[in-house]
Structure 1
Amino acid sequence: MPRRRIGFWYRFAAVIAKPPLVVLIKRDWRGMENIPADGGFITAVNHNSHIDPFAYAHFQYNTGRLPRFLAKSGLFKKGFVGAFMRGTGQIPVYRETTDALSAFRAAIDAVERGECVAFYPEGTITRDPDQWPMTGKTGAARVALQTKCPVIPVAQWGANELLPPYSKKANVLPRKTHRVLAGPPVDLAPFYDKEMTPELLKDATEVIMAAITRQLEEIRGEKAPERPYDPRQERIEQRRRTAAQTQQAQAPKAGQEEGQGT
């Protein structure tokens, strides 16, 4: 697979990040043949550890197609961090815009220039109790349908064993294995050339997330839950449980007050 021009900042990042990754994590990487050699494309990746972006970037770097991650636009504005983000070609997301497509304009432009844009469709580290992919946000589908670029589903597992989700304590020993499986492009053709409604984007996102989940099932050798964990629905259910508990706690008190009144 041909190498792209890497540039100073990405080489600098590799010099800093690769040695500790090589020391801390063994590698079982498969599916590199599914990474397009030419043209713009998206990788859609599951997220289960604070350090998996570095581990995944190592995999993607070694394919010769550098990943461009999405990040808040404010990170690009000042100091060393801003210079690093700009120098490595990361993608600013302008969340302050009211136009959803404009929020991802830089990602669309990068794909149209022939770049690889890496999406974490879940938007955050999974909150699924067994660390399966959650329901996804629609950004990756939105860019994919706008550009009609390939979407490569990528599953990873192992960085989460080194640093569990939402933990600050690493489990260094025994040495963990970072397993990555990149699959063939997701078939989004049924969604092309249609009005980009919320329902269409939701359906396309579910197809992408299902493909990522299938890759992770192969890595883990087990079956994922039939329905992905939905943090929004969980928040709704939690509010309902809290309200019910509050009502139950208030009921005896109300009864006592009535008794005292009589």
Structure 2
Amino acid sequence: MSRRRIGFWYRLAAVIAKPPLVILFKRDWQGLEHVPADGGFITVVNHNSYLDPLSYAHFQYNTGRVPRFLAKAGLFKSSFVGMMLRGTGQIPVYRETTDALNAFRAAVDAVERGECVAFYPEGTLTRDPDMWPMAGKTGAARVALLTKAPVIPVAQWGANLAMPPYATENRFRFFPRKTLKVLAGPPVDLSRFEGEEPTPELLREATEVIMAAITELLSEVRGEPVPAAPYDHRKARAKQRRRAAEEGSK
């Protein structure tokens, strides 16, 4: 399938967003050659700032293959935001459904139409104290195994230095001028999972492979070693609750 047209609404969003990005940030982009020229594919990206969707979208926009992000279905109902989301081809996720597959049906359809669907597998901004990717959710792996589309890992760093996640003070730190670093890698090898029953265990294993690929790329970007194990926010919260309960019982 040939490249799809970017379209009026995505170009309008680029006209609005690109000038401040160019003015406020330097860029260090690598791995553009790994973004497929044709056909549907999935990108999986680490998430460490509210600004990083703009950083990553700018990177990929320049390849001619724009990303279609997943967004809560409710956002599409609002007037201006919904109009922009629909116009730029963003993808609603119906999280209220009890069927995990139907929750991502629109993403599957988009990939099969030859689109790029961008996942933030962590599901939220990282809560790792050192800003490494957390343990991921299984949505990207589920869509990848169903569509057999290439999964391109992407690591980004720099937006978090300008807008740290969960910051309560000095939220914006644009100066001195930061560098937005984005590195795309070769497709993640998920071949050993193909043709198997997508059990929760298998999806978790495939997700671990995906997250490991993202983390390896981020290690290269940061010039730091990969952590021994990914941060698991649920386990960390459970540990905090146990500690609080123990202290309260003393």
TM-score (ref. length: structure 2): 0.97
Letter in 2 for 1:11: R
Aligned to 1:92: 92
Aligned to 1:163: 163
Q: CA deviation at 1:76?
A: 1.1
Higher helix share: 1
Write the distance in 1 (CA, Å) between the matches of 2:125 and 2:201: 24
Letter in 2 for 1:219: V
Write the distance in 2 (CA, Å) between the matches of 1:28 and 1:242: 44
Q: CA deviation at 1:4?
A: 3.6
Deviations 1:234-257 (A, max 9, x none): 011011001100111xxxxxxxxx
Write the distance in 1 (CA, Å) between the matches of 2:190 and 2:226: 22
Task: Give the secondary-structure state (helix, strand or coil) at the position aligned to 1:240.
Answer: helix
Aligned to 1:182: 184
The answer to whether the 8 Å contact 1:70/1:91 transfers is yes
Deviations 1:52-97 (A, max 9, x none): 0111110011111010000001111231111111110000000111
Q: CA deviation at 1:3?
A: 5.9
The answer to whether the 8 Å contact 1:111/1:149 transfers is yes
Write the distance in 2 (CA, Å) between the matches of 1:167 and 1:118: 25
Q: Does 1:115 align with 2:103?
A: no
Superposed, 1:71-150 pairs within 5 Å as: 71-150=71-150
Aligned to 1:230: 232
Runs of 4+ in 1 over 4 A off after TM superposition: none
Write the distance in 2 (CA, Å) between the matches of 1:97 and 1:220: 38
Write the distance in 2 (CA, Å) between the matches of 1:235 and 1:176: 32
Task: Give the secondary-structure state (helix, strand or coil) at the position aligned to 2:28.
Answer: strand
Write the distance in 2 (CA, Å) between the matches of 1:189 and 1:39: 18
Write the distance in 2 (CA, Å) between the matches of 1:154 and 1:55: 12
**Which residue of 190, 205, 208 maps to 1:206?**
208
Task: Give the secondary-structure state (helix, strand or coil) at the position aligned to 1:167.
Answer: coil
Percent identity, aligned pairs only, is: 73
Write the distance in 1 (CA, Å) between the matches of 2:78 and 2:247: 47
**Cα 1:27–1:3 shift into 2, 3 Å:** farther
The answer to whether the 8 Å contact 1:43/1:119 transfers is yes
The answer to whether the 8 Å contact 2:34/2:186 transfers is yes
Letter in 2 for 1:18: K
Aligned to 1:173: 175
Aligned to 1:69: 69
Q: CA RMSD in A?
A: 1.0
Q: CA deviation at 1:224?
A: 2.1
Q: CA deviation at 1:167?
A: 2.2
Q: Does 1:52 align with 2:52?
A: yes
The answer to whether the 8 Å contact 1:51/1:163 transfers is yes
The answer to whether the 8 Å contact 2:70/2:118 transfers is yes
The answer to whether the 8 Å contact 1:50/1:166 transfers is no
Deviations 1:77-134 (A, max 9, x none): 2311111111100000001111100000000000000000000000111111110000
The answer to whether the 8 Å contact 1:152/1:184 transfers is yes
Aligned to 1:259: none
Task: Give the secondary-structure state (helix, strand or coil) at the position aligned to 1:196.
Answer: coil
Task: Give the secondary-structure state (helix, strand or coil) at the position aligned to 1:154.
Answer: strand
Letter in 2 for 1:59: F
Deviations 1:159-192 (A, max 9, x none): 1111111126111111000011100000001001
Letter in 2 for 1:220: R
